[in-house]
Amino acid sequence: MNRKTASLISSFIIGAAVLSGCTANPSSLKTSVSNKEEVVNIYSDRHYDTDRELYSIFEETTGIKVNVVEGKSDELIERLSREGKDTSADILITADAGRLHRAKEKGLLQSIESKNLETSIPENLRDSDNQWFGLTVRGRVFVYSKDRVNPSELSTYEDLANPKWKGKILVRPADSIYNQSLLASFIELRGEEAAKEWASGIVANMAQTPKGNDRDQAKAVVAGIGDIAIMNTYYLGKMLNSSDPAEVEVAKKVGIFFPDQTGDGTHINISGAGVTAYSKNKDNAVKFIEFLASEKSQRIFADLNYEYPANPAVEPSDLLKSWGEFKSQEIPLSRLGELNQRAVEILGEVGWK
């Protein structure tokens, strides 16, 4: 743990004796003394030290033991489906509203009542039936070569389909939920035909057959394979603060651009959580999600994992502020899940591999 992390965690624990910012009724977080150990069991696709520190803080401040199974999102959703009523999981934490919606459609989540969460998390960042709540936000932006691209040439997502960018666009494969949700936002805002036209234009302008993750796209820009990558903001933050000097060097050589600032705004998505349909520890699960939505937890997400807070009462980290404020799309993120299947079909139709 670095000094900055230790300082933030220490200050959190000192100030959270009763988790005063975490729930409308702080005393409800106090664990009653009983012979039965209080637990909450989590299935999570997040694998960050930040999250593990928050688990420890929650345990220390509530006496509720946190058990975590980490895995890939789709595998965890499939596991929940397979386990059914026999699951031990109380919470599913995963990236992208598309996946959370998928879990909801499979009947794997349940609605909960929490005035705290309804107050802390904006309506467009949570499910309309309160089956899942966004906890962190990331923008899907352009990362470009500072040597070869003038940012004044950049504008909208649509512009990346312009033939002037032929052979210069880098992006993940079609099976990336991030790209599926981006295309789903096009369907919602522009309609299916416009979405298909855009996706076809991106395929025509690709610098290479899509491969790798978002960090690999930035590395490909610096290697000269292409000039512009589509990637999520927090990946660039993590690269700039990486323990790998090569990643830091890559991140320093690219610029960041928030698309469509005079139109609908930059596409955003979330990492979020929901209480499982067959949770055996529902009250503890709700307390834990409220804890993650609290201002102090949101500050740790922002400062140490370079994600935008979902709770509007919390400001972004200094690094994110240095990139400037940006206008974001305001569509309900649940629509991204509802339109996911059609987005997947369009990606296949246009040959996005």
Residue pLDDT, tens place only, 31-60: 434 457 899 999 999 999 999 999 999 999
Residue 118 in this model has a pLDDT that exceeds 90: yes
The enclosing domain of 261 has a CATH number of 3.40.190.10
Residue 313 in this model has a pLDDT that exceeds 90: yes
| Contacts (Cβ under 8 Å, ≥6 apart) of 149 | 227, 228, 255
Residue 27 in this model has a pLDDT that exceeds 80: no
The mean pLDDT of the chain is 92
pLDDT given at position 12: 53
Residue 75 CA: distances (Å) to CA of 70, 337, 339: 10, 18, 21
pLDDT given at position 9: 52
- Give the pLDDT mean for 74-97: 97
160 and 292 in one domain? no
Q: How far is the C-alpha of 39 from the C-alpha of 277, rounded, in Å?
A: 17
Please tell me the pTM assigned to this model: 0.88
* pLDDT band, residue 133 (cuts 50/70/90): very high
Q: How far is the C-alpha of 42 from the C-alpha of 40, rounded, in Å?
A: 7
167 and 77 in one domain? no
15 and 120 in one domain? yes
311 and 330 in one domain? no
25 and 8 in one domain? yes
Q: Which domain holds residue 210?
A: 138-267+325-349
Residue 25 in this model has a pLDDT that exceeds 60: no
161 and 51 in one domain? no
Q: Look at the alpha carbons of 24, 49, 137, 67 in this order and tell me if their dihedral is positive or negative.
A: negative
Residue 14 in this model has a pLDDT that exceeds 70: no
Residue 278 in this model has a pLDDT that exceeds 70: yes
185 and 109 in one domain? no
Residue 231 in this model has a pLDDT that exceeds 80: yes
pLDDT given at position 36: 72
| Contacts (Cβ under 8 Å, ≥6 apart) of 117 | 126, 130, 133, 289, 290, 293
255 and 304 in one domain? no
- Give the pLDDT mean for 137-156: 97
143 and 117 in one domain? no
Tell me how many domains the chain contains: 2
Residue 229 CA: distances (Å) to CA of 9, 78, 82, 205: 34, 31, 37, 12
123 and 48 in one domain? yes
341 and 195 in one domain? yes
295 and 263 in one domain? no
